[in-house]
A and B are shown apart, each in its own frame.
Chain A
């Protein structure tokens, strides 16, 4: 399946040629989970702590759906 990934914060710098308007398509096996996507992109949990699929934040074990738009943000802290 395909998901469209949009990266925020300092994450885009990790992917040369990344286009912030378009995001990037990532091909994954059926049944892949949020943590599998992050592993595939080599984004550690220290770097990518918040993941939203189609506008809803997800836990690491959530299953991804084909054609979804996935936003990946840094972990947040503070107040």
Chain B
């Protein structure tokens, strides 16, 4: 249990015991409570006062399946508020096995300097000069780093977008095959890492000293029950390996809630060409991989490897949200172009969602026609060239809206919405508007409850009851994001009572204290309170808990609804 504090101004590294105030925290709970306590809310997100914290989940580094999420936190240059963005891959488990609770990057290297942070199998950390990697894209970077430092390292890194401190810059993570194809995409954390002068974290996967479990026997038994439930659940055991997240393209279009052509249509004409079914069929016919393992200790295998017509690798883990942002929003219904854009975003180090939506706003403003894949790809390359337009695209949809003086910019707190239109699923309006993270679908995903035929009365087109379901989902998610578990494993915990109980046992066996569901909910509330407290001090009041104005004014076909959740109802979401 230790913090590594890396001061980029002084180039010093200090290991310290985890301070009392942070004991028992991990993942998002740790990053958010830390940022609220240690970062000046009004600071420049790209200045020396901001801090970038990397925290594996509470259960990362244990033997439990699917515990490979790492939370990354800072003040966001995109939203101006607190940010936690989490990603799978290999680094979380690696840090957990080294007994590292968090890495905190402070200060700022002098202009023009660039470093690597290397952590070896004994948890010894060093800063290494990396000027030779200036401007290097992520695939080329990790290939060289793996040659220089060995393939048994997990890597978190930035591309040119992060170095150029653009507000859509991601932090990319290597998957189990060593490719930088998984992203902590949201909120511009890549820009914060770039501002510090840090190009990559290289973490040994050979650690053998995870924190001791308080009750190893109880942990072992509960871990087996949990794994069995995840494997046997139809969603995580069958559907996700067969179709991946892209399985959502069909149902969300059927619901009329797939924001298309920059959120002017709720059904994408031709969605069948980019559906999960079509993706799986295409991958199979070309000899790519579905049911691919992306993250350490994963037994779900929702990832895929997309290959071109010649069977050559294009990108890994073509995901629903990316297909939507670069396909649905831009009107590009061609998987090959979408896969190319996904690769370019990973390689340049960009959030596919914020960037796809930025391109869609440019198209809607008349810069290029919808559906023009070549133009979309050129816009991505403009980002690397650093032209005025490239900077606008790389800084996200609001920046593009200003560049073209265009009003239809689908965001909350400057961050793009995800692949569920808030007018077609009103509960997502609540989550997007009120999440301290800005529009973030993972912060409180209420899509299933709204669309399910069985068990529930929510009408996706009505505001009735949406605040309550969003509140409950946001609290549950804030707690779950502390664990390091993948949200796709949560389904079994929610649906199978023994798995839900097993999760409480696992957390208790790690921490050495018996936990109830109420304790877990209280943790979720504590995390959200810290996030909202930071945001208020940063100047984001309840007036920021709103969606872009056009969502309240422009009806979305085919249901022709606007967002119907009132401001007063939005303000009721966090009634604690």
Query: A residues bordering B, Cβ < 8 Å?
Result: 8-10, 20, 34-35, 38, 45-52, 55-60, 71, 73-79
B491 touches A10 (CB 8 A): no
Distance, CA A40 to CA B361, complexed state (A): 46
A74 touches B254 (CB 8 A): no
Instruction: Give per-residue flags for B249-267: 1 if the beta carbon is below 8 A from chain A beta carbons, else 0.
Output: 0110011100000000001
Which residues in window 459-508 of B have CB below 8 A to A? 460, 477, 487-488, 490-491, 494
Q: Indicate which residue in A47, A71, A76 contacts B447 across the interface (CB closer than 8 Å).
A: A76
Query: Given A46-B234, A49-B454, A55-B256: A75 and B267 within 8 A (CB)?
Result: no
A50 touches B251 (CB 8 A): yes
Query: Given A10-B239, A57-B460: A77 and B488 within 8 A (CB)?
Result: yes
Between A and B, 15 residue pairs with Cβ closer than 8 Å are A9-B277, A10-B238, A35-B454, A49-B448, A50-B251, A50-B451, A50-B452, A52-B254, A59-B454, A71-B250, A74-B234, A74-B239, A74-B247, A76-B247, A76-B448
B255 touches A77 (CB 8 A): no
Q: List the A side residues contacting B447 at CB < 8 Å.
A: 76, 79
Distance, CA A47 to CA B452, complexed state (A): 12
Q: List the A side residues contacting B247 at CB < 8 Å.
A: 8-9, 74, 76
Closest to A45 in B: B454
Closest to B281 in A: A20
Distance, CA A27 to CA B447, complexed state (A): 31
For the complex of A and B, list the 5 residue pairs with the smallest distance between their C-beta atoms, beginning with the closest: A79-B445, A52-B254, A77-B491, A73-B251, A79-B442
Distance, CA A34 to CA B453, complexed state (A): 8
Q: Smallest Cβ distance from A48 to chain B, in angstroms?
A: 8
Distance, CA A55 to CA B247, complexed state (A): 17
Q: Smallest Cβ distance from B460 to chain A, in angstroms?
A: 7
Q: List the A side residues contacting B239 at CB < 8 Å.
A: 9-10, 74
Q: List the B side residues contacting A50 at CB < 8 Å.
A: 251, 254-255, 451-453
> Does chain A have a CB within 8 A of B558?
yes
Which residues in window 390-418 of B have CB below 8 A to A? none
Q: List the A side residues contacting B451 at CB < 8 Å.
A: 50, 57, 76
Q: Smallest Cβ distance from A46 to chain B, in angstroms?
A: 6
Interface residue total, chain B, C-beta cutoff 8 A: 40
Query: Given A9-B243, A77-B448: A57 and B254 within 8 A (CB)?
Result: yes
> Does chain A have a CB within 8 A of B284?
no
Query: Given A9-B239, A55-B558: A75 and B448 within 8 A (CB)?
Result: yes
Q: Smallest Cβ distance from B457 to chain A, in angstroms?
A: 7
Query: Given A8-B277, A55-B254: A75 and B243 within 8 A (CB)?
Result: no
Closest to B240 in A: A78
Q: List the B side residues contacting A58 at CB < 8 Å.
A: 453
> Does chain A have a CB within 8 A of B552?
no
Q: List the B side residues contacting A9 at CB < 8 Å.
A: 239, 242-243, 247, 250, 276-277
Closest to B473 in A: A79
Q: Smallest Cβ distance from A69 to chain B, in angstroms?
A: 10
B453 touches A49 (CB 8 A): yes
Distance, CA A50 to CA B447, complexed state (A): 11
B491 touches A59 (CB 8 A): no
B255 touches A52 (CB 8 A): yes
Q: List the B side residues contacting A20 at CB < 8 Å.
A: 277
Q: List the B side residues contacting A49 at CB < 8 Å.
A: 448, 452-454
Distance, CA A27 to CA B242, complexed state (A): 30
Q: List the A side residues contacting B254 at CB < 8 Å.
A: 50, 52, 55, 57, 71, 73
A78 touches B487 (CB 8 A): yes
Q: Smallest Cβ distance from A78 to chain B, in angstroms?
A: 5
Q: Smallest Cβ distance from A76 to chain B, in angstroms?
A: 5
> Does chain A have a CB within 8 A of B248?
yes
Distance, CA A58 to CA B235, complexed state (A): 21
Q: List the B side residues contacting A60 at CB < 8 Å.
A: 453-454
